[in-house]
Structures are given as C-alpha cells and as structure tokens.
C-alpha cells in the first residue's frame, strides 16, 4: 500500500504568524522543523498501520521547506516546483490514499493564516458552484485520479469547512482559531502523537476495507467534468492581468471564469495565474 503525505505548514501546531511561514528568519526555521516532525509522525503512523511505501510531498510556498536530513528514512520526499500536480505531486506513481498534514482553511475564512493558493491574488475560488480551498481543490484532483483523502490535520475552522468533503477520513485538530493570527494550540509533541495515532487508524481502516466489494468508507472526492472555475481576485488590477489569458472571461471588476475538462487542468490554470500575479507585487 502506497500513501502520499501532502504537508503544508499553516495548520501545524504552534504556527500562527506570517513570519513563521516565510523563509529568511529564525521563526520560520523553527516552524519548518515542526512541519517536518508532523510529517514524520504521519509516516510513522502509516507504517504502523501497514503502509509499505510512503511519499512525502512538500506542499508549502516554494515546495522546499521540509528538512530532508530530518525526514524519516523510510519515506521519500517530493520537493521543488514547478510540478503539474502541485500539492498532489507524487500521485503520478500510483498511490492508494492521501494524507493532508498541516492544512488550513480557505481564503476569506476565520481560520489561522487562511488563504487559497495565493493570498495576494485569490479571494475566493468556486468549482462548479462550490467554494473550495486548497484541501477541496487538491482533494478533487486526487479524487479525479481515484485516490481518497483518508487523514487531514489543521485547525478547527479547516476541519469544520472540510469534513463533509472527505467522508470516512480521520481528523486531527492541532489548534483552535480565535482569528487569523491567534488561537490555542496543542504542543508540537501532543500534535505529533495525535497525528501518528490517526495515521495508523486511517491506514488500518483502508486496508480492512480494500477487500470488501462495497469499497469501504474511504470515498474519493470527485467533481464531474466539465469544470467551471469562478475566481474572485483580490483587486481589479489582478483581474485585468489574468484576463490577458484569452480563454478567461471577465465577469465583473474582480471576477473571472473559465471552463476546462478536468480538475488537473483547473488546478494547473490556477497555479499559472498565481505565478502571473507576481508581476503586480
């Protein structure tokens, strides 16, 4: 059984401030070590549950935050960008399930460090009428490939807005949000223990269900094509820029939309727009 562990940083226990998620300072260095430790907890739990092969995907920012020399040696590490599958890089190898570790709530929400893909550029993202954050977008990408999300960790707002998207998944609440930059957190050690236990349970449940004709509780999150994406930008200037792309349609001052034939195409388009936005920074 092969597990992909997609690891972000905003949902990691102890992380609350933008400085902790941006390279170039001591606070970030401590936070990336906590991020690596939570990834390791997920690896350890997955192996205890019976996983034989594990990929850990660095899914934050420039995708080079996890410490390779600190990673459990039984896992392999997916680093760097660009990559077509973004936060789901590694699924190309044929995985059985996904863990989302250290994830966060969507933009415009009340979760800790909430955003969707690019906090400078994107205000809200809708797919076929459903507002989704990174977990929903990338969970749908995994689902399109037939792969379910079986474990997710982050703050209470993230869990509340995402729980119904992944039926049968295990959840670990690492902290409670009181605002964008405040709340109550587990200690890193307590968070790691909870993640390891949930990871073991998630893999055991998946293995137990794999031989049943009913398919068990782990259900891939699928959104049928065609995929219409409606994107609300953070400013009219960004919408001006993005609509230089001829296939994008302007809806109003800050909103555009496009239609594609798959979630992979939708995610790749959004990531391309996020890269374009650096022209206006």
Q: What is the CATH number of the domain that holds 47?
A: 3.40.50.10780
Same domain, 123 and 232: no
Q: Tell me what pLDDT residue 216 has.
A: 54
pLDDT digits (tens, 9 = 90+) for 7-48: 999 999 999 999 999 999 999 999 999 999 999 999 999 999
The residue among 183, 210, 237 that closes a domain is 210
How confident is residue 218, by pLDDT bands cut at 50, 70 and 90?
confident
Q: Is the predicted pLDDT of residue 72 greater than 80, yes or no? A: yes
CA distance 87 to 62: 11
What is the spatial distance between Cα 225 and Cα 72, in angstroms, rounded to a whole number? 38
Predicted confidence (pLDDT) per residue in 162-216, tens digit = 999 999 999 999 999 999 999 999 999 999 999 999 999 999 999 998 766 555 5
Whether residue 217 is contained in a domain is answered as no
Whether residue 162 is found in the same domain as residue 231: no
So what's the pLDDT on residue 94? Answer: 95
User: Parallel, antiparallel, or unpaired: how do β-strands 97-101 and 149-155 relate?
Assistant: parallel
- Domain boundary (210, 241, 266) is at 210
Confidence of residue 97 (pLDDT cuts 50, 70, 90): very high
Domain co-membership, 68 together with 124: yes
**Region 73-77: what's the mean pLDDT?**
98
The response to whether 29 counts as a known ligand-binding position is: no
For residues 183 and 85, membership in a common domain is answered with yes
Instruction: Give the rounded distance of the alpha carbon of 183 from its chain centre.
Output: 21
Whether residues 149 and 268 fall in one domain: no
Q: Around 110, how many Cα atoms within 13 Å sit in the side-chain half-sphere?
A: 8
Closest among 109, 105, 131, 123 to 10, alpha carbons compared? 105
Q: Is residue 42, in this structure, part of any structural domain at all?
A: yes
Residue 43 within a domain = yes
> Is residue 104 included in any domain, yes or no?
yes
The residue range of the domain holding 261 is 227-280
Residue 8 annotated as lining a ligand binding site: yes
What pTM, to 2 d.p., does this model score? 0.96
Give the residue from 184, 210, 236 where a domain finishes. 210
Q: What are 268-278's pLDDT values in tens digits?
A: 999 999 999 99
> What is the tens place of the pLDDT at every residue in 104-161?
999 999 999 999 999 999 999 999 999 999 999 999 999 999 999 999 999 999 999 9
- The domain total for the chain is 2
Asked if residue 222 is part of any domain, the answer here is no
Residue 221 in any domain: the answer is no
* pLDDT-based confidence at residue 3 (cuts at 50, 70, 90): very high
Residue 249 known to bind ligand? no
Verify that 114 and 242 share a domain, yes or no.
Answer: no
pLDDT at 211: 66
In a domain? residue 220? no
What is residue 217's predicted lDDT score, i.e. its pLDDT? 73
Judgement on whether residues 183 and 246 belong to the same structural domain of the protein: no
Specify whether 188 is located in the same domain as 265: no
User: To the nearest whole number, what is the mean pLDDT of the chain?
Assistant: 96
17 is catalytic: no
Query: Do 31 and 94 fall into the same domain?
Result: yes
134 is an annotated ligand-binding site residue: yes
Domain identity same for 175 and 53: yes
- The DSSP-derived string for 27-44 is HHHHHHHHHHHHHHHHHH
**Does 219 map to a domain?**
no
According to the annotation, is 161 in a ligand binding site?
A: no
Is it the case that residue 262 has pLDDT exceeding 60?
Answer: yes
Q: Do 56 and 27 share a structural domain?
A: yes
Whether 119 and 240 map to the same domain: the answer is no
Among 32, 106, 115, 175, the active-site one is 115
């Amino acid at each position: 059984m092969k597990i992909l562990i997609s690891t972000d940083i905003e949902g990691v226990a102890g992380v609350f401030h933008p400085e902790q998620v941006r390279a170039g300072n001591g606070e970030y260095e401590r936070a990336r070590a906590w991020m690596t430790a939570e990834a390791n907890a997920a690896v350890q739990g997955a192996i205890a549950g019976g996983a034989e092969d594990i990929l850990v995907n660095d899914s934050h920012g420039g995708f080079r935050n996890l410490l390779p020399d600190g990673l459990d040696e039984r896992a392999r590490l997916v680093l760097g960008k660009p990559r077509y599958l973004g936060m789901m890089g590694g699924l190309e190898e044929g995985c059985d399930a996904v863990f989302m570790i250290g994830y966060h709530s969507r933009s415009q929400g009340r979760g800790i460090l909430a955003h969707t893909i690019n906090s400078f550029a994107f205000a809200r993202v809708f797919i076929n009428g459903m507002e989704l954050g990174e977990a929903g977008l990338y969970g749908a990408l995994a689902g399109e490939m037939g792969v379910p999300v079986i474990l997710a960790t982050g703050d209470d707002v993230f869990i509340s807005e995402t729980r119904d998207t992944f039926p049968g998944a295990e959840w670990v609440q690492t902290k409670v949000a009181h605002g964008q930059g405040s709340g109550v957190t587990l200690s890193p050690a307590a968070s790691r223990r909870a993640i390891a236990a949930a990871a073991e349970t998630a893999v055991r449940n998946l293995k137990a269900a794999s031989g049943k004709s009913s398919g068990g509780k782990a259900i891939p999150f699928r959104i049928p094509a065609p995929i219409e994406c409606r994107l609300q930008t953070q400013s009219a200037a960004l919408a001006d820029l993005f609509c230089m792309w001829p296939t994008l349609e302007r809806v109003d001052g800050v909103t555009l939309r496009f239609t594609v034939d798959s979630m992979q195409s939708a995610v790749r388009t959004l990531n391309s727009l996020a890269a374009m936005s650096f022209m206006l920074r």
